[in-house]
Structure 1
Amino acid sequence: MKISKIEDNKKRYMSLLFLADEQEDMIDRYLEKGTMYVLEENGVKAECVVTDEGSKVLEIKNIAVLPECQRMGYGKRMIEFIEQTYRDNFRILRVGTGDSQLTLPFYKKCGFIESHRIKNFFTDNYDHPIFECGVQLIDMVYLEKNLLWESNTIHRKK
């Protein structure tokens, strides 16, 4: 398994990016300013884009795993990689997602806790209804993970 930083031509991974965010103008808001990583194991399996939000907050703007490779640990491995890569320079790892029974349990299993919600985010910011698991997404749910605490826990275990 190899995770690589993608420096240019990030849009060549649009098919993966669209799995997590289906509107191109929304992706354009963060893609160029963000740092992109791709996980490969006999081909590309997953991608992740993170942005520096200031005040030592790093946000996962897009994370996606090929549908046929989901539930195989690639998404969790990508999050672990992001944590390890950025824990010395950031205090909080944040992710925003729809109020979905597909994604919320995944992030909670990875150690994130809900911090806040933005009401009507999907209806106010997308030009069409967004559905996941047959349910229309309306609110954006933000979850956070304290990287300092994670770093201290890891150092204590050694």
Structure 2
Amino acid sequence: MENLNIHIRPFEQNEAIPYELLLLADPSKKMVDEYINDSLIYLAINENVITGVYALLPLNNHVAEIKNIAVHNVHQGKGIGKLLLESAIQVAKEKGFESLLIGTANSSVTQLYLYQKCGFEIVEIRKNFFLDNYNEPIFENGIQCKHMIVLIKNLNAKDE
């Protein structure tokens, strides 16, 4: 395993939005543009190279949503996604949110595993979300993305 020195930091206003990464998790620039300016964006940096990103969107005073979380293809499978997820949980707690929401496709088996392992619980299935909101079919792991699986983590609960 590579020796990675990952630092996660807030996105700075003078930086270019890292669309290359954001579009890995959400292939519609139109959809990304709908939430990106209202989100808190954090970057995973390794040796001055952006390797990952997440966007945290406050939904109200009590709930935030991870709208996007992505790791560059070259750096996947190295634990960066988990570090980003843990950072998002910590930031949401620090900002005073009571719960954190995340949605992913029915085909996102690795992500579903990770989110549940980190204490997220499935609370909803948004039927046909990807069919209704994206012009082109999306396939992942040989499975068509059709439904969004919505998971939530209670941030007030003691960590297990």
TM (normalized to structure 1)? 0.89
- The one-letter code matched in structure 2 to 1:47 is V
**Residue 82 (structure 1) shift:** 1.6
1:41-60 mapped onto 2 (5 Å cutoff): 41-42=46-47, 43-60=49-66
Q: Secondary structure at the match of 2:101?
A: strand
Kindly, what percent of the aligned residue pairs are identical?
36
**Residue 40 (structure 1) shift:** 0.5
1:22-37 mapped onto 2 (5 Å cutoff): 22-37=27-42
CA distance in 2, matches of 1:25, 1:143: 23
CA distance in 1, matches of 2:14, 2:21: 14
Q: For the structure 1 residues 146 and 67, does the alpha-carbon distance in structure 2 shift closer, same or farther, using more than 3 Å as the test?
A: same
Q: For the structure 1 residues 11 and 125, does the alpha-carbon distance in structure 2 shift closer, same or farther, using more than 3 Å as the test?
A: farther
CA distance in 2, matches of 1:117, 1:4: 32
- The one-letter code matched in structure 1 to 2:78 is M
Higher helix share: 1
Aligned length, in residue pairs: 152
1:94 equivalenced with 2:105 (yes/no): no
Aligned partner of 2:77 in structure 1 is 71
8 Å Cα contact 1:114/1:141 also seen in 2: yes
Q: For the structure 1 residues 124 and 10, does the alpha-carbon distance in structure 2 shift closer, same or farther, using more than 3 Å as the test?
A: farther
Q: Secondary structure at the match of 1:90?
A: coil
CA distance in 2, matches of 1:17, 1:32: 13
Q: Secondary structure at the match of 1:4?
A: strand
Instruction: Show structure 1 runs of 5+ residues with no match.
Output: none
Which consecutive aligned stretches of 4+ in structure 1 deviate over 6 angstroms post-superposition? none
1:5 equivalenced with 2:3 (yes/no): no
Aligned partner of 1:61 in structure 2 is 67
CA distance in 1, matches of 2:84, 2:39: 16
1:83-134: CA deviations, max 9, x gaps? 2222140111110110122321121122211010111100111111111112
